């Protein structure tokens, strides 16, 4: 089976238990939970049963141990996750606005994640993996940008493939070099996986149809659009298909897009038909929102397949 690699932040998430309160007054929080978009993604890949690895860094502290134990326990190769004795594990505090939108207080750039850089272990993984998944949030330092672009070029040169989820966080958009890095990754990606307005990040097109045509004409093999409660769609030069979402009770929206992406990429690497891959990926996203905690809802391949067989669609 093909081995999948991602690069980027691992952190713990600590979240408000109730909607509607800010961080300017004492509130009840719950956590720590292992988190970070690339970490959620790769944990779901492992739970789906695909060989996989992450290049990252955590601190030599309890938060780091929690994250490492969780990823290793689920089957992720963490041989290239370094433990920084000088800096703490990254963290994010999350609170929910009354309308369900989330606000974050991040500590990533000054956490152990700042020490992610090329090492012997990262070299070994890049040489041994078949597919690279890039997430926009991961590109938070020049060292990570260099590492990701180098990995992408080398994996592609060996005949491997690249998927790209822009996963744009407005808090991070001001970072220098990010825009250029996103454009470079986009140009190399086989699979482009935006949600919402991210479809228009690299095109001046005004409509979805025109944007997709331009992206496919530019050489991207397929575009997969995540549409939340509307499900998801696949577009390639051979055609397109949309598959509705599953009806579940949403407890915590964090992680849906990452789990969806992980399951979709695994199915794509296994050569599954787009409609089947979308159904499994939608089920994976739906299961992700049913549990509190960013990666607590990452489900096994059996659990995901069971939802596809049994559940009603939205």
96 lies in the binding site for ligand ADP (CB under 6 A): no
Q: CB-wise, 153 or 291, nearer to ligand ADP?
A: 291
Sign of CA dihedral 268, 240, 308, 135: positive
Site string for ligand ADP, 211-230 (x = CB under 6 A): ---------------xxxx-
Considering only CA atoms, which of 230, 269, 281, 201 is closest in space to residue 41? 281
Considering only CA atoms, which of 59, 57, 78 is closest in space to residue 69? 78
Specify the stretch interacting with ligand ADP by CB under 6 A; choose among 11-19, 89-97, 209-217, 280-288: 280-288
Q: 32: cis peptide before it, omega within 30°?
A: yes
Specify the stretch interacting with ligand ADP by CB under 6 A; choose among 6-14, 98-106, 122-130, 250-258: 250-258
Specify the stretch interacting with ligand ADP by CB under 6 A; choose among 47-55, 151-159, 283-291, 293-301: 283-291
Alpha-carbon distance 155 to 159, whole Å? 7
User: Quick one: which of 286, 295, 299, 307 contacts ligand ADP (CB under 6 A)?
Assistant: 286
Token reading at 154: 């080398």
Q: How far is the CB of 284 from ligand ADP (least distance, A)?
A: 7
User: Quick one: which of 202, 235, 246, 264 contacts ligand ADP (CB under 6 A)?
Assistant: 246
Are the C-beta atoms of 235 and 222 separated by less than 8 Å? Answer: yes
Exposed/middle/buried for residue 148 (C-beta within 10 Å: 0-12, 13-18, 19+): buried
34 lies in the binding site for ligand ADP (CB under 6 A): no
Residue 57 exposure: Cα atoms within 13 Å on the Cβ side: 24
231 lies in the binding site for ligand ADP (CB under 6 A): yes
Q: CB-wise, 64 or 294, nearer to ligand ADP?
A: 294
39 lies in the binding site for ligand ADP (CB under 6 A): no
Considering only CA atoms, which of 191, 77, 83 is closest in space to residue 124? 77
Q: How far is the CB of 84 from ligand ADP (least distance, A)?
A: 29
* Residues from 169 through 208 that contact ligand ADP (CB under 6 A): 195
Q: CB-wise, 136 or 160, nearer to ligand ADP?
A: 136
Alpha-carbon distance 22 to 19, whole Å? 9
Specify the stretch interacting with ligand ADP by CB under 6 A; choose among 12-20, 116-124, 204-212, 278-286: 278-286
Specify the stretch interacting with ligand ADP by CB under 6 A; choose among 39-47, 84-92, 120-128, 249-257: 249-257
* Residues from 100 through 129 that contact ligand ADP (CB under 6 A): none
How many chain residues touch ligand ADP (CB under 6 A)?
19
Q: How far is the CB of 231 from ligand ADP (least distance, A)?
A: 5
70 lies in the binding site for ligand ADP (CB under 6 A): no
Q: CB-wise, 163 or 282, nearer to ligand ADP?
A: 282
Alpha-carbon distance 298 to 303, whole Å? 10
- Residues engaged in binding ligand ADP (CB under 6 A): 195, 226-229, 231-232, 245-246, 248, 250, 253, 256-257, 260, 282, 285-286, 289
């Amino acid at each position: 089976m093909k081995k999948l690699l991602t690069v980027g932040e691992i952190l713990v998430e600590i979240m408000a238990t109730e909607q509607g309160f800010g961080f300017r007054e004492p509130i009840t929080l719950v956590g720590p939970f292992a988190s970070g978009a690339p970490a959620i993604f790769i944990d779901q890949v492992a739970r789906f049963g695909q060989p996989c690895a992450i290049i990252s860094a955590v601190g030599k502290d309890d938060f780091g141990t929690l994250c490492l134990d969780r990823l290793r326990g689920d089957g992720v190769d963490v041989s290239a996750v370094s433990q920084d004795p000088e800096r703490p594990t990254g963290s994010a505090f999350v609170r929910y606005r009354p309308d369900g939108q989330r606000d974050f207080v991040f500590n990533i750039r000054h956490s152990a994640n700042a020490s992610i850089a090329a090492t012997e272990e990262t070299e070994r993984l890049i040489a041994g993996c078949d597919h690279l998944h890039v997430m926009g949030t991961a590109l938070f330092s020049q060292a990570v940008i260099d590492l990701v672009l180098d990995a992408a070029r080398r994996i592609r040169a060996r005949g491997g493939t690249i998927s790209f989820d822009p996963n744009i966080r407005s808090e991070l958009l001001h970072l220098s070099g990010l825009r250029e890095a996103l454009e470079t990754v986009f140009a190399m990606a086989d699979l482009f996986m935006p949600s919402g307005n991210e479809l228009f990040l690299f095109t001046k097109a005004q409509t979805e149809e025109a944007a997709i045509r331009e992206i496919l004409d530019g050489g991207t093999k397929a575009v997969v659009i995540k549409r939340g409660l509307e499900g998801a769609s696949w577009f390639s030069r051979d055609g397109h298909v949309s598959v509705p979402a599953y009806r579940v009770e949403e407890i915590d929206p964090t992680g849906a897009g990452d789990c969806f992406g992980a399951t979709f990429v695994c199915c794509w690497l296994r050569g599954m038909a787009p409609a089947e891959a979308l159904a499994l990926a939608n089920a994976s996203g739906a299961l992700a929102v049913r549990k509190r905690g960013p990666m607590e809802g990452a489900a096994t391949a059996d659990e995901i397949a069971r939802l596809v067989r049994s559940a009603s669609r939205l």
